Amino acid sequence: MIKHCFWLVLLLLSVDLSAQCEIAFDEIDEFDSLRTVASSSVAFGYMVPSLYETVSGPRLIEEGKAIVMYSENDTINSFFLTLAIPEYTFQPIEAGFNVRMKLSDGEVISFYNVPDRGTFDDTTNMRLYQHTIIVPLDMFYRLTFSTIEAIRIEYKKLKRTFKLNEEQQDAIRDAMQCVGRQVELYPVKP
């Protein structure tokens, strides 16, 4: 009996907490030594109908997906949050502080967004926009313990707001912690 307890304790101690963390990739570019780490994607918002029609009606898709990334080399050490958003119509948007997030403490923070012009996704018959948000280090640490309640993207002619349920809020926070753990910047060690 004692022998079984010993093996059980040994097994529990050998479990790596980072194994619960889902990293999509952790790569180093052999040409410029750029290390890039990315979490698995996290769906957020509601299920919405796409413009792709099936026999039983339009295909339902997630309102958005988020990926947390970290890149480092000689000239860049930064976290990024990439939002993939399907849109029904072309939405012009410029780079700037046009993505806002409402945190669980009620504060609304603007983030610098580097958007693209959208690409046509033939699985949904919609334009897919990628909004790459630069997350400063102080905000990264804040997002590892706070949750994001809502995200607003301000296009030139439209404001889109995404409400996140508690499960989605926790999933994005866990993705932040996961990438931080992978690059050894989380948890903070005094």
On whether residue 72 sits in a domain, the answer given is yes
On whether residue 135 sits in a domain, the answer given is yes
* Overall number of domains in the chain: 1
The per-residue pLDDT for 3 is: 35
Q: What is the DSSP string of 23-85?
A: EEEEEE-TTT--EEEEEPPEEEEEEEEEEEEETTEEEEEEEEEEEEEEEESSS-EEEEEEEEE
Which residue range is the domain that position 77 belongs to? 36-182
The per-residue pLDDT for 188 is: 81
Whether 44 and 82 have beta carbons less than 8 Å apart is answered as no
On whether residue 83 sits in a domain, the answer given is yes
Mean pLDDT by 10 residues, the chain (190 residues): 34 42 93 95 96 94 98 92 96 95 96 93 95 95 96 96 98 97 87
On whether residue 56 sits in a domain, the answer given is yes
On whether residue 25 sits in a domain, the answer given is no
Q: What is the pTM for the complete model shown?
A: 0.86
On whether residue 30 sits in a domain, the answer given is no
The per-residue pLDDT for 76 is: 86
On whether residue 1 sits in a domain, the answer given is no
On whether residue 26 sits in a domain, the answer given is no
The per-residue pLDDT for 116 is: 87
